[in-house]
Amino acid sequence: MTKTKPLLEARRVFKGFFGNPVLKGVDIALEPGRVHALLGENGAGKSTLINLLSGALQPDKGNVVVDGQPVLRFSPAAAREAGIAVVQQELSLAAELSIAENIGLGALPRRFGLIDYRALSTAVAEVCERVGLTEPLDMPVGDLSLGRRQMVEIAKALFRKPRVLILDEPTSSLSAHEAGILAGLIRKLRDEGIALLYISHRLNEVQALCSHVTVLKDGVVTADQPLAGVNDEGLVRLMVGRDAGDLFPAWQDNPVGNELIGLEGFSAGMARDVNFRACAGEIVGIGGLVGQGQEDFLLGLYGAIPASAETAQIAGRHRPLKNVEAANGAGLAYVPADRKHEGLVLPHSIASNLLLPSLGDLVKHGLRDRAAERKRVADLTRRLTIKGDVGRPVQALSGGNQQKVALAKWLPLDPSVLLLNDPTRGVDIETKREIYLMLQSFAREGKLVILLSSDTPELVHLCDRVAVFREGRLATMLPRSEISEEAIVGAAMGLSAKGAAA
Amino acid sequence: MTVTRVPANLYTAVQRRRNRGLTGLYLVVAAFLVVYAILFPGLFTIGGFSKFTQNWFPLALVTMAQALMMLNGGISLAIGPLVSLGAVIAAVTMGGPLGVLGGLLAVSAAGLFIGAATGGIVAYLRLPAIIVTLAGSFIITGIALLLLPRPGGYIPDWFSDLLAGHTPVAFGLLVLFLIGWKVYLATPLGIGIYAAGNNPVGAYRSGVPVERVKVFAFALSGLLAALAGLFVAAQTGSGDPVIGTPFTLNSIAGAVLGGVAFLGGRGTMRGVICGSLLLSVMINVMFFLGFPPVAQYVAQGLIIVGAVAVPQLTSQWRAKP
C-alpha cells in the first residue's frame, strides 16, 4: 500500500484555541503523485489543519513531518523552503500591483538587489500559460474579476515550483470553464509527481479529481481511505454520518401565485435587455458562468445600482426601484454573496446584526424597546437554530452560521421577494441543507425566491425554473422539466441553440 | 491555446499602467505652472527657478515621507515635528567639531532612528500608525524644544548659500532623491510596501517580510522629513523648534493631491511629486494674486477636496450605463 513515501505528514496533531480543542490527534499523509481530498464540514478543523501543514500555526502536540523528518519549528518560510505552497480561500494579492509582480511576490528574482523584471516576465509567462491566464502581465490585479484573481493566486503558488500544493476551495469563485482548466492542471501536476491536497465542498469535483480522501469531523479523522468505490452519498455519509439523499430536500411543486416581477428590456450594470417574469411561490434559479451580469441583475432589481427598463413591474411598483430603501419598502430583501463585507457587521453581536433591518419598528416612546428586541432575537435564533450566546460578535461564528444570520435578519420584515446571491458559498453541508429547507418553506409561504448560485446541482435540485445568463443577457430560461446540470452548463457555455433567442 | 501576452519590457509596461489616471493631475499642474509663469516671468531666470524649487524642495521631501507612510496603510502626524527636529539638530551640531558633515550625519541618523523606532512599534506591536505618530509628535516636539528652546543655533553661511542661494542646487538634489526613490521601489522591499499596505495578511503568507518592509519604509520616511528640516534650517540660517508644524498637514495635502490612497497600497512616485508641486505652485500663485493668507487656506482646502472628489465623480459617471 504505502510504497511511495509521503512528502508531508501530520502525525497525531492536537491544536486548540483558548482551551477549545479543534484538532484532536489528526493524522494525514500527502503522497507524491496523488490528489488527496480533505473533507469536513465547516468547523471540523480543516483550516486549522492546513495552517499546521503550511507552518502558519504550531501544533500543541504531535508533529508535522517533511520527507519523513519531524520538523521542530515550522514556519511559513520553512514551509516554502520545503516546497509547500498553499492556495488559500482568502486571496493574498495586492490590488495595485501587476499580475506579474503579484505572482512573483515574496520570491522575486533579483539582479544587483533590484527586481529582475525580465526574468520575472519569462517565468511568470510560463505559469500563466499553464493556468490559462491570458491577460497582459502588467495589468493590475485590481482590474480582474474575482475568478481571474483566483487563477492568479493559483499561478502564484505554481511559480514557487512546489512539491506539495494545498488548494483550499479553489473553485468557489471560478466559472465552470476556469474550473475545467484547473482540473486539467491538477491532473498534470499529479502526473508530475506533486502531492496535492484538495479541499472542496463540491463533491462532484472531489469525485472527478481525487483518489484518496481524509474526512474530518469535529477534529477527528473519521475516514482515511481511497476514494475508489465511494459515491457522493457515501462521501456525505462519511462527513455527516447521515444519508446523502437528505442533502437536497425533495423538490416541491408549490402553487404559483401572482406575478411579482415582470420585466421587459431590463438593464442594470452588465445585465442588458433582460425579459424576466416570476411569480409568488416560485424558486427561480439564476445560473451561468461567473460574471455574466447575474449579480448586476439582482442588484438592479434591488435598486442598489441604477437600472432601466422598457416596462417593469416589481412587487407592485411600475418602474425599477430607485434605491435600497424603496426596495425594502416594496418587500424585497437581498442577501449578498460577500457576507463578510456586505451582509454583516462583523465585530457587532449576533443580536444587533439580527435586529439591524428591523430596528425601526421595535420602538416604544421613540426609544428602542429592549424587551421586544430580546424576544425577536430569541425567536429568530430558535427558528434558525443559531446556537449559543447572541452577544458574541458575528465574526466568531463559522461561515455557515454567519450566512444564517445574514439571511435571518430579513425575516421580521416579511419580504415577499428574496434575492439570494450565492447563499451557500463556503457553507458546510449541514448548514447548506438547513438553508435549502428554509428556501423551500419561503416558497411554500408564497414568497418569491430568486437564487443566484454558482453551484449547479443546487439549481437543479431546488429551482422551478432556471434563468441562465451569458454575456449580460438572459440566454435561456429552463422550465422545470428541462433543468439538468448538462442543460445549465451547456447554456452557460453558449452550446444550446434552443432558447437562445429568448 | 491562446498565448499569454508578454509585454516587451515588463517594467515600463507596469509603470505605465500604475501611472495611468494621472493625466488629469498633469494637466492641472501644467495649467497652474502656466498661470504662475505669466504672473511671475522671472521663473525662467536661473535665480527665479532656484528660488521656486527651493520653496518646493522641503514640501516635496515631506510629501514623499508622508506617501511612504500612507502606502503602508498608515498616516504620520509626526512629519512636522521631525522637520523641526531636523532643523534644530542641524543648527546645534553644525557649529560643533565635526562641522557641516557632522550635522548632516546627525540629522540623518536622528531621522532614520526615529523613523525605524516608530516603524518597529507599529509593525511589531501592531499599533495604528496614526496613534504612534501622534504620541511621537509630542515627544519629538519636546526634544526639539529641549535642544533649542528658542530659534537660534548656527548654520554656516556658505552652506546656506549652497542650498538656498542663487543656484538650482535644490533642484539637482531633488532629482537625486527621485532617482533613489525609483530604485527603492524597484527592489523587493520597495514593492513590498504596496503588498503590505494593501493586503498585509496576504503579503505575509506570500513570504513578504511585512515587518521589515514597514520598518524600512518608516525609517526612510523619517530620514526624508529630517533632511527637509536640515534644508529649512539652511534656508532660514538658523534652527527653529516649531518651524516644521505646517508640514504635517501640507504633506498629507500633497500626497492626497497626488492620488495616494488613505487605505494604503495605492499611489505612485509621479503622483506624489506632482501633488507636492501642485501644492507649492498653488501657494505661490495665490500669493502673487494677492490673496489674504486666510483666503489662501480656504482656497487650498477647496482645491484639495475638489482634487479628491473629481476623479471619484468621473469614475461614477463613467460607470453609469
Q: What is the pLDDT of residues A379-392, one digit of tens each?
A: 888 877 777 778 88
- pLDDT at residue B58 is higher than 90: yes
pTM for this model (two decimals): 0.74
Min Cα–Cα distance to chain B from A202, Å: 25
Fold (topology level) of A248-331+415-502: Rossmann fold (3.40.50)
Which residues partner with A364 through β-bridges?
Answer: A367
Which of B199, B211, B320 is the best residue to mutate to test the A interface, defined by the most A CB atoms within 10 Å of its own CB? B199
Asked if the model's pLDDT at residue B94 lies above 50, the reply is yes
Distance CA(A215)–CA(A378), nearest Å, equals 34
In this predicted model, which residue has the larger pLDDT, A311 or B318? A311
Picking from A233-242, B31-40, B42-51, B58-67, which range would have the lowest pLDDT averaged per residue?
A: A233-242
Q: Name the residue in chain B with its Cα closest to that of A54.
A: B205
pLDDT band at A3 (very low <50, low <70, confident <90, very high): low
- Tell the burial category of B254 from Cβ atoms under 10 Å away from its Cβ (0-12, 13-18, 19+): buried
Picking from A121, A178, A473 by the largest number of B CB atoms within 10 A of its own CB, the best residue to mutate is A121
For position A246, what pLDDT does the model report? 61
pLDDT at A500: 38
Question: Would the CB atoms of A125 and B4 count as touching at under 8 Å?
Answer: yes
Q: What's the pLDDT at A465?
A: 93
Kindly identify which residue of chain B lies nearest to residue A119, measuring between CA atoms: B10
**How far separated are the first and last CA of chain A, in Å rounded?**
56
Measured distance CA(B90)–CA(A96) in Å, rounded: 38
- Tell me which residue in A96, A122, A132 faces B194 most closely, judged by beta carbons: A96
Write the CB contacts of A332 (distance below 8 Å, at least 6 apart in sequence).
Answer: A301, A302, A303, A314, A315, A321, A415, A416, A417, A418, A419
What average pLDDT is seen over chain B? 88
How many C-beta atoms surround the C-beta of residue A392 within 10 A? 12
Same fold for the pair A8-242 and A248-331+415-502 = yes
Given a contact cutoff of 8 angstroms between Cβ atoms, the answer to whether A273 and A473 are in contact is: yes
Regarding predicted confidence, which is higher, B140 or A363?
Answer: B140
- The pLDDT assigned to A410 comes to 87
Q: How many CB atoms lie within 10 A of CB A300?
A: 26
Poorest-pLDDT segment among A138-147, B82-91, B97-106: A138-147
Cell of A344: 454583516
Estimate to the nearest angstrom the gap between the alpha carbon of A16 and the chain centroid: 26
pLDDT digits (tens, 9 = 90+) for A123-153: 999 999 888 888 889 998 988 888 888 899 9
CA A236/CA B245 separation, integer angstroms: 66
Count of domains observed in chain B? 1
Q: Which pLDDT band, with edges at 50, 70 and 90, does A19 fall under?
A: low
Task: Determine the residue of chain A that is closest to B196 in CA distance.
Answer: A94
Residue B320 within a domain? no
**pLDDT tens digits for A442-476?**
899 899 999 998 777 888 888 999 999 988 889 88
Task: Tell me the CATH number at B148.
Answer: 1.10.3470
Residue B228's pLDDT is: 96
pLDDT at B288 over 70: yes
Alpha-carbon torsion A428, A293, A341, B129, what sign? positive
Name the grid cell of A340.
463578510
Q: Which three cell numbers stand for residue A328?
A: 425594502
In whole angstroms, what is the distance from residue A120 CA to residue A102 CA?
11
Question: By residue range, what is the domain housing residue B157?
Answer: 18-309
* B319 located within any domain: no
Cα(A285)–Cα(A456) distance, integer angstroms: 10
Residue B143 has a pLDDT of 95
The reply to whether B272 falls in a domain is yes
To the nearest whole Å, the CA of B209 is away from the closest chain A CA by 8
B187 domain residue, yes or no: yes
Task: Choose among B9, B16, B206: nearest Cβ to A105.
Answer: B206
From the CA of A413, how many Å to the nearest CA of chain B? 31
pLDDT, tens digit, 9 for 90 and up, residues A253-266: 888 888 889 999 99
Across the beta sheet with A332-335, the strand order is A332-335, A417-421, A448-452, A283-288, A465-470, A473-479
Cα–Cα dist B295/B247, whole Å: 19
Chain A, 144-163: which have a CB under 8 Å from a chain B CB? 156
Residue A245's pLDDT band, with cuts at 50, 70 and 90, is: low
Chain B residues within 8 A of A267 when measuring between CB atoms: 321
* CATH C-level class of A8-242: alpha beta
Q: What is the pLDDT of residue A288?
A: 82
Give me the residue spans of the domains in chain A. 8-242, 248-331+415-502, 348-413
Do B202 and A94 count as a contact with CB atoms less than 8 A apart? yes
What is the rounded distance in angstroms from the CA atom of residue A212 to the CA atom of residue A158? 22
| Residue-wise pLDDT tens digits, A93-102 | 888 899 999 9
Mark out chain B residues that contact chain A at CB-CB < 8 A. Answer: 1-7, 9-11, 13-14, 16-18, 183, 186-188, 191-192, 194-195, 197-199, 201-208, 265-266, 320-321
Q: Is residue B1 part of a domain?
A: no
Residues of chain B in contact with residue A89, where contact means CB-CB under 8 angstroms, are: none
Q: How far is B220 from B108, CA to CA, in rounded Å? A: 10
Nearest to B129 by CA among B213, B229, B191, B218: B218
Whether B211 is covered by a domain: the verdict is: yes
| CA distance to partner chain B, nearest, from residue A176 (Å) | 17
| Nearest-angstrom CA–CA distance, A105 and A98 | 10
Chain B residues whose beta carbon lies within 8 Å of the beta carbon of residue A120:
10
Please report the number of interchain residue pairs, chain A to chain B, with beta-carbon separation below 8 angstroms.
123
Does residue B235 lie in a domain region? yes
Residue B54: predicted pLDDT = 93
Task: Supply the pLDDT for residue A187.
Answer: 93
| pLDDT tens by residue, A28-66 | 999 999 999 998 765 678 888 998 998 888 889 888 999
Name, of A19-23, A224-228, A286-290, B51-55, the range with top average pLDDT: B51-55
